[in-house]
Amino acid sequence: MADCGWFATGHAVSKKVGSIFVVALICALTLPTIVEAQIDPKVLDKIQGNLGVKNSDPGAQLDQSREDAASGFSFEDTYKETEEERELKRQQSRALLDELYRPSTVEKEFQTRLGDPSLRQFGYDLFRSAASKSGPLTGQVADNYVLGPGDELIITFQGATNDTYTARVARDGRLIAGELPPIRAGGRTLGAVRTSLAAATRENLLGTDVYVSLGGVRSATVFIGGEVERPGQYQVIALSDVANALARAGGLRKSGSLRNIRIVRNGVTRTVDLYGLLGIGAPPSIGVQDGDRIIVPVIGQTFAITGAVARPGIYEMRGAISIDEALRYAGGAVRPRGYKIAISRIAEDGREVFVRAQGAGSQVIAGDGVQIVGGSAGAARDRVLLRGYVINEGPRALSNAQTVADLVGDVDNLRLGTYLPMAALIRRDTDTGMRNYEAVDLRGALTGGDNVPLRGDDRLYIFSTDDIAFMNSAAVRGVILGERNSLPQCVSLMRLEALVRDTQSPRFYSITRGTFTVEREGKNVAVSVGDALGANNGARQVQAVNQNEDSIRSKDAQSETDKGRKKLGAGEDDDNPECPKVFEEAPELLPFLIENSVSVGGSVRRPGAYPVGSTIKANALIGAADGVVASTGSVTLDLTRAETGDTSRYAVADGDYSQAQNLVLRAGDDLRINADLPAYEVGAVLLTGEFARPGLYTIRQGERLSELIARAGGLRENAYPYGTVFTRRSVRELQQEGFKRTARELNTALLALVAQKDTNSGAIASAGELIKTLSTTEAVGRMVVEADPRVLAQRPDLDPILEGGDSIFMPKKPTYVLTLGDVSNPGALQFIAGKGVSDYLAEAGGSQSTADKGRTFLVLPNGSAQPVRNGFWRQSNIVVPPGSTIIVPKNLNPLRSLGVIRDVATIFGQLATAAASIAILATR
């Protein structure tokens, strides 16, 4: 590259730290500013502002602050939670509470004895969501409500007299309503008082009806003690019952009784059983009264019931009960018949003994642990199970499904996207009782080629193409290579990760054969093909292999961020596929499929590893990979056998795969399809500007610029080849990475410098601006090339080879020269042949007193840059071509004290080239 080449040479100019800073600041700060025509005053003002000349107009600053304020928004105002999101948060909170749950002493005892860690004491969740405060009075109040001092009645008269009164029951129990005589209300029911008011109205108010309803309800003071969370004295409304009062005290502890709660009222003790509120027995109907004392004693005798019941738990009992009653406590057995009952009982000497219950009438005593053991539904030995990617999965009678074909049906009736080369059959070994996994050729079984017989309790799993795509995903490849699991929510990947870590077996390598890996910290790390190879060049390969630790950490952080995201279908995004249901249900199937796979690569539409039954023909395997991509010539097949490691080549002429039908592959083999692809670049090349026929052109591999210009009809009369802007994607990416890397290095050096004493604050601020510029600058990706067809005809070695994605802009011959920086009147000046740098600077009013004249430089139209100094050139008044930019930097002497920028000459050269490129493109 020739752009700003004088920076990278050993010339004295590039060795001056201050000069490098000047050029870097000027080039970088002009990058994001020249976006329109160079003669636009607004653009020039913006450039000057970036060069240090700030806008002092307070009105403009006020307008900007208003725009900034208007662009802000409140997250709370624009986003409201949906009911689904609130429910999700509630479920997450419950799950967190379950994780933090600490079992009580009673629960620990039964959990240990019965081996069921999920056993909980029944009924104590009644108070979990209960309100801690009494709410407003709502609903109808029954006539049997007993009135007392403080209750309010709303009394309405209609007829000859129309009026409404709110009357309160006085301390002496009397009630006065309007002109009626006092009525005794305290201690009487609401219905009795209503009757008395109706009689008094008939006697005293002729032709008038009365309507009575309860308004305000008196409060009652009760004392709550015993095994409650917050014992003490509480005020409740008189309509409250025992459960409401206990909720005010925070509910019961696990050590408190739900069935023997005592209410002491006027010296008389009553017992309340709260199980009635939980569906066991009759609900209590005892309201509280002022002065009541509610005492919760220690829990009484208990028993536990677990196993195949609707509501396993630990229940409080009142004396001995039968098995039938215990089952009613637990909601009954899941299966109405065929279950067995075992009782864990504590004998008189404290030992645990097991009692076989003889029937539903058997007795359950305190401390018993009842286990309901259910049998197999329909007898497992008489059934088979169909699971996976099928419409009607579930059990089938073995008598009706004696083979795989009987169980699945016809191949034409399978769902679209069913994977046919392999199904997994899980069956019980008759000798050991352990599970065995067998690979089944599903297509062969359904077409009569391999009639696989079934046995009782067999399970057949059928897979989809999305399941196979998940098996080939980046997450699975990373786990096999020893990387951290990027999808911890997938149980199957967690199991696979543990298996790979514990066994270090090569049986999983069929997945990673087609993966490009690099070594990092002694481990193989997968790199995507795009990052490794780039677009037909090796530049990005170097970048991928030599990636720094910051970019690695960035990718890891992105992986962590993407963990919670899930796609609707597996395989849509290899970086974060959904956890397939079939693998979550049976995690052992994922490693089983991998170890029974054949690797398919080369010119197929979906390269990867494909599970197979015992054997598979090459043409069927190619079909599973969606076939061979369109080619322009012959196709060859390279088959490497797993057993011997030998590779054989087979030719396919004119699309005739008959020979491939005779190639039989087995698990572990490797098949590569080699096809002659069209000799075109992946992407097109864009020609804009002064070409005879500009536009988007498809190019052949190896096509040169002169050939494309000839295809485009050559150049127009006003074309200016010297100012051609040739940009390339791969160059832009390398430049961008260089900017970021240099910014990081400068930032590290600057932090070290700040820690030193007597540091120049002006130098620190200037260096900080430079770091900010390098971090935010967008690279152009310009290559300085020769684009004049006449020169290319004489010098073929200068004719560049094109790549897909290249963009070529041919400008018109400009009629201006830009003067920027610390000059009196920056702007675009009329180009006049023969005028030099000094002439243009003089026309711009000359340099200001703050300028660093010794470091003035010239950016040429082709992107290269030249310093303008006495002692380096024979004359300072260099002849300036049209379209050039003359930049006079400020005097940045404070930066000379910083010795941290000695290795960034190439980056600064790229910044200068970018400035020249945008200056030319701004005329489009």
Question: Residue 741's pLDDT is what?
Answer: 79
Q: Which of 128, 109, 107, 127 is nearest to 119 (CA)?
A: 107
State pLDDT tens for residues 556-565.
Answer: 434 443 443 3
User: Which residue's entry shows tokens 């309100």?
Assistant: 131
Q: Give residue 28's pLDDT band: very low, low, confident or very high (50, 70, 90).
A: very low
Question: Residue 730's pLDDT is what?
Answer: 86
State pLDDT tens for residues 310-327.
Answer: 999 999 998 889 999 999
As a dihedral over the C-alpha atoms of residue 408, residue 409, residue 415, residue 419, rounded to 10 degrees, the angle is 60
Most confidently modeled of 18-27, 252-261, 542-551? 252-261
Are 256 and 275 in contact by the 8 Å Cβ rule? The answer is: no
State pLDDT tens for residues 800-811.
Answer: 999 989 999 999
**CA–CA separation, 216 and 186 (whole Å):** 15
865: β partners: 859
Is pLDDT of 156 > 70?
Answer: yes
State pLDDT tens for residues 770-812.
Answer: 667 666 777 788 888 899 999 999 999 999 999 989 999 999 9
**CA–CA separation, 535 and 375 (whole Å):** 63
Question: Residue 603's pLDDT is what?
Answer: 86
Q: Which residues contact 115 (CB under 8 A, 6 or more apart)?
A: none
Q: Give residue 871's pLDDT band: very low, low, confident or very high (50, 70, 90).
A: very low
Kindly report which listed range (384-393, 620-629, 678-687, 885-894) carries the lowest average pLDDT score: 885-894
**CA–CA separation, 575 and 624 (whole Å):** 22
Kindly report which listed range (41-50, 102-111, 305-314) carries the lowest average pLDDT score: 41-50
Question: Residue 10's pLDDT is what?
Answer: 36
Question: Residue 733's pLDDT is what?
Answer: 86
Amino acid 67 reads E
Please give the full DSSP string across 496-562, using - where no structure is assigned. HHHHHHHH--GGGTTTTTT-EEEEETTEEEEE-HHHHHTTTSSHHHHHHHT--HHHHHHHHHHHHHG
Average pLDDT over residues 853-878: 70
Count Cβ atoms within 10 A of the Cβ of residue 751 and give its class: 0-12 exposed, 13-18 middle, 19 or more buried.
Answer: exposed
State pLDDT tens for residues 29-49.
Answer: 343 333 333 445 655 565 555
Q: Would the pTM of this model clear 0.85, i.e. be above it? A: no
State pLDDT tens for residues 406-431.
Answer: 999 888 878 999 999 999 999 988 78
**CA–CA separation, 642 and 756 (whole Å):** 64
Report the half-sphere exposure of 63 (CA within 13 A, side-chain side): 6
Average pLDDT over residues 637-654: 85
Is pLDDT of 593 > 90?
Answer: yes
Is pLDDT of 4 > 50?
Answer: no
Distances (CA, A) of 554 to 339, 529, 751: 57, 19, 22
Q: Give residue 578's pLDDT band: very low, low, confident or very high (50, 70, 90).
A: confident
Q: Which residues contact 869 (CB under 8 A, 6 or more apart)?
A: 13, 854, 855, 856, 876
210: β partners: 157
Percent of the chain whose pLDDT exceeds 90: 28
